[in-house]
Structures are given as C-alpha cells and as structure tokens.
Amino acid sequence: MLSEFLLSEMNRLGSQDALPLHRQLYEALRRAMLDGKLGAGERLSSSRDLAQDLGLSRNTVVAAINQLSVEGYLVSRVGSGTFVNDNVPRVNPASAARPHLRGAPTVAPSRLSARGLALSTTFCATQLEVQPFTPGIADFSAFPLTLWQRLQNKHWRMTYPDMLDYNDSGGYAPLRRAIADYLRVFRSVQLDADQVIVTTGTQQSLELCARLLADHGDTVWVEDPAYWGAVKAFMATGLAIHPVPVDDEGICPSAADNAQPPRLIYVTPSHQYPTGAVMSLPRRHQLLSTARAHGAWVLEDDYDSEYRFSGPPISSLEGLDTDGRVLYMGTFSKVLYPGIKLGYLVVPKPLVAAFKQAHYDLNRPGQMPMQAALAEFIEMGHFSSALRRARQSYGERRQALLEALKPVLAPGTEGPAISGAEQGLHLCLRLPAAVDDAALAQRIAQQGLTVRPLSAYCLARKDLRGLVIGYGYAPLSDIKRCGPVLSAAVRSLKKT
C-alpha cells in the first residue's frame, strides 16, 4: 500500500538525515514515482486524504506536493486533481535484472537526471517570456546602435593584453564606479563601487547568490505567481522552492509560510513579475523584519526600474535595509539590448571578498572590452540619453495599448482590470477567476498575436487568471493596428 511505503521511507529519512517532515514526504513521494510505485499518469490522493492517511498536517502535505509540482514530477489539472507526470524517469527492475548478452551495450541509454528533467519541462522560457504581443523581430529603434558600435570598436583597438584575460576584481573598475553612482542617485541604494559585481545578467546573479548563501535543500521563498527565470535558477542549485502568495501590496507571507523558514527570499518589489504589484512601505518593513527573524537573505531583483511612467520613482528595498541582509541586482538588457548579457549584483560589504572569489572560480568572468565600452557609454551621458529616448518610446506604446484595452475594462472586481501599467515593459490584464486564460491566449495566438496566461506563472495558486502582455518590443504602429484585435478577443468572453 502506498501510504505504508511512504511512512516507511519517511521513518528511514527522519532517522538518518533528520529532515523536516515536508522534505521527508517529498523524498518519499519522489522515490515512489522513480521506483514505479506511482505510475505515469496515476492520480495522487488529495492532500486532505494523504494528510489523514499519514498522520500529518495538511500544510506539510501541500508543501511537499507543491515542490514536486514545481520540479516537474507532478502536474495539476483544474477540476481533476494532481497526477504523476508522464515524463518522470523510472528505474525498470525487470531490465535491471536481465543478464547482458555478448556484444550488447552494458550501459543504459543516456537520459536526463531528475533535475535535468525538471529544468527542461517546467517553466519553459519560450512559453513564458514576455516578448511582443505582435509577431516579428524585437524593436531596438530607440537604441543608438551606431554610437555603440563606435565605442566598442574604439576599445577593441586600444585593448591591452590584460583586457583579454579573465577578471578577478568583480568587473571593470570604471564600470563598477558608474553603476554605483547611478544606483546611489536614482535607486537610493547604499553602496560603494567595491560592492558591485558585474555579471552576465540576473540569472548568473541569482545562481551566485544561491550557491554562496544556501545549501542544497535549503528553502527559498519565491513570489507566487513567479518569475520563471528565478524558479529555474533555484531549481538548478537544488533549493526547495516555497511559493508565497502576492497581493496588491506585494509578497504576503502567512503564519503557515513562516512555519517553513527561508534561507533566501526572492522578490521583485518595485514591479512584481508578472502582476506588476508595487510592494508597499509597510510590507517592505515587514519583509525585512521577517528576514531578520529567520536569519534569511533577501534577493531584490530590480529588473525594470528604469521605466516608471506615472507617479514618483519607487526606491529600492535595499535602501531601507539596516542589517545588510539585502542583495540587489539589475540588468542592462532592458535599456540596451537583451544580447548584451551584462548585469550587476550589489552585495553587503562583509560578503564582497567571498563573492568575488567565487565569481572568479565558478564563472571565469571576462568581456572586458565590452565592459569598458559600456563604462564610457554611461560616463559620457549616452546611457541617460538612451534611457530618455527609450522611456518616451515605450511610454507611447504603453499608452496605445491602454487605449486599445479600454473597451474591455469593467468597474469593480467582476470584470477585466489592468495592473502593473505604471512601470516596465509589460502589463497584466486581470480576468475573472472563471476564465480559462490559457485557452484565451491560445485563441489570440491563432490570430497571430502573442500573450501569456497569468495562470502559467503560478506555482501553487489556482485563483489567478489574466493575460500578461508585453509592449516593449512591439513597434507603435503594430500596437495601434493589433491592439483592437486583442481587445476584441477579450470582449468575446462576454458572449461565450
């Protein structure tokens, strides 16, 4: 009987490794699937029934099931239940016992590890990345390509041999100074240049934090709905992902969440991805207090803070931190172009030496001529000019999209409403909970437009529906032409 097997596995794990109960159940269920005791496509008992059979709290069972769902072992179907993923690799006892024939391969065909399977089948970027809601090539018309090419050529011509080597100081010094000056003035980040580490972008920053600040199996709180890239980074580094719901004021941990103490807390406080919620000041103080109580580190992803279209700029969470618990990260991909692959991580002073050493050992950072070109681009005022042009261009596109969506908006909480339009390069059109947003996104795709269902970003929640719509890479003319098509598709909901 499955419950007997699970209890036996949990007793073994508890006596050997002293794992918390939710992790014991996670490991036991995982073993049951890998050993074939839970077959592909088999329906799992409800969390309430499992809790009763195993003598556990329902929160413990839900935490284990959520983690297995995030990692791709289980899939949930609305109204049907939770099932074992068809792609879960299993050990085949019969084939393992079969004698090898002469000349036959002695090694089983290669296949992905359980982690590899989860990474390749869950939260796939091609299905979740907010790109244009119209098809075509990304639009970089606001970026001064000719000037950028000239600066790069200049620094390639004058490059010294050491500029072609790895760099062990955290990045090109003038670039780190320029980043520090920018963040102090515009983002209220408290730092000096030595705390800045230049990375290849947010993904590398997240992985570096996960590797240096947490051990395998440690818990990371992640906003729900979540940024897919963060989920991937934490899965790849072996952390236990604990989803925490987001409301209109940002991440909102409950007593049940606090019962799962985090080592890391990942947040996007200035413009939550993907809902667009802005973390309120009381919630920011509460989060920092929670981190202090748990001895946790807060990872602040300020991914699109440059684009604030209404209201005053939102200061960083790091600027409120008095304990040195916040690590702040940003990227140049939103202002320059995605392929530049340059970002930055600001670490508390006591961590600087360790982070620089580990960054050098693990990542062998380079790209010094490009970093030098970017430093000059910022120092000469070109970055500010490019940002002003881009902000104006994206503001016009945002306004055109808002105008196109006006006919579908409804007062109160019953109909569609827009969130997250004050900042960034995407907005969220929230829909009633009864709407199948995935089916709606698919119908819109049949008309040649690309939007993402909000429910696809959820880890554990079942109550959110909407469309995540990107406008940063869509030319203004396309938005004016295709926006009404998108609006009509949403309006058709009222007729079905």
pLDDT tens digits, one per residue of 165-198: 777 788 999 999 999 999 998 888 999 999 999 9
Q: Is 415 helix (H, G, I), strand (E, B) or coil?
A: coil
Asked whether the predicted pLDDT for residue 132 surpasses 70, the reply is no
Q: In the 8-state DSSP scheme, what is residue 101?
A: P
How many other C-beta atoms lie within 10 A of the C-beta of residue 193? 17
**293 touches 265 (CB < 8 A):** no
Share of the chain above pLDDT 70, in %: 88
Taking only the tens place, the pLDDT of each residue in 242-291 is: 999 999 999 999 999 999 999 999 999 999 999 999 999 999 999 999 99
What kind and span of H or E run contains 356? helix 352-363
Return the structure tokens found at 404: 């196109």
User: Which of 2-16, 126-140, 331-345, 398-412 has the least mean pLDDT?
Assistant: 126-140
Q: How confident is the model at residue 16 (pLDDT cuts 50, 70, 90)?
A: low
Angle at 120 between CA 364 and CA 17, to 5 degrees: 80
| pLDDT value for 300 | 97
**77 touches 69 (CB < 8 A):** no
Asked whether the predicted pLDDT for residue 90 surpasses 70, the reply is no
d(CA 118, CA 33): 14
**336 touches 364 (CB < 8 A):** no
| pLDDT value for 107 | 39
Q: In the 8-state DSSP scheme, what is residue 351?
A: G
Q: What is the pTM of this model?
A: 0.78
Taking only the tens place, the pLDDT of each residue in 336-355 is: 888 888 999 999 999 999 99
**360 touches 197 (CB < 8 A):** no
Return the structure tokens found at 127: 């299905």
**What is 125-140+386-495's CATH topology?**
Aspartate Aminotransferase, domain 1 (3.90.1150)
Going from N- to C-terminal start, the domains of the chain cover 2-93+110-117, 125-140+386-495, 161-384
Q: In the 8-state DSSP scheme, what is residue 91?
A: -
Mean pLDDT of 78-83: 77
**144 touches 387 (CB < 8 A):** no
Asked whether the predicted pLDDT for residue 94 surpasses 50, the reply is no
Asked whether the predicted pLDDT for residue 370 surpasses 60, the reply is yes
Q: How confident is the model at residue 334 (pLDDT cuts 50, 70, 90)?
A: confident
**369 touches 152 (CB < 8 A):** yes
d(CA 196, CA 466): 37
**What is 2-93+110-117's CATH topology?**
Arc Repressor Mutant, subunit A (1.10.10)
**What is 161-384's CATH topology?**
Aspartate Aminotransferase; domain 2 (3.40.640)
**285 touches 320 (CB < 8 A):** yes
What kind and span of H or E run contains 94? helix 93-97
| pLDDT value for 126 | 63
Asked whether the predicted pLDDT for residue 97 surpasses 80, the reply is no
Report how far apart, in Å, the C-alpha atoms of 315 and of each of 227, 302, 321 are.
21, 10, 12
d(CA 49, CA 61): 10
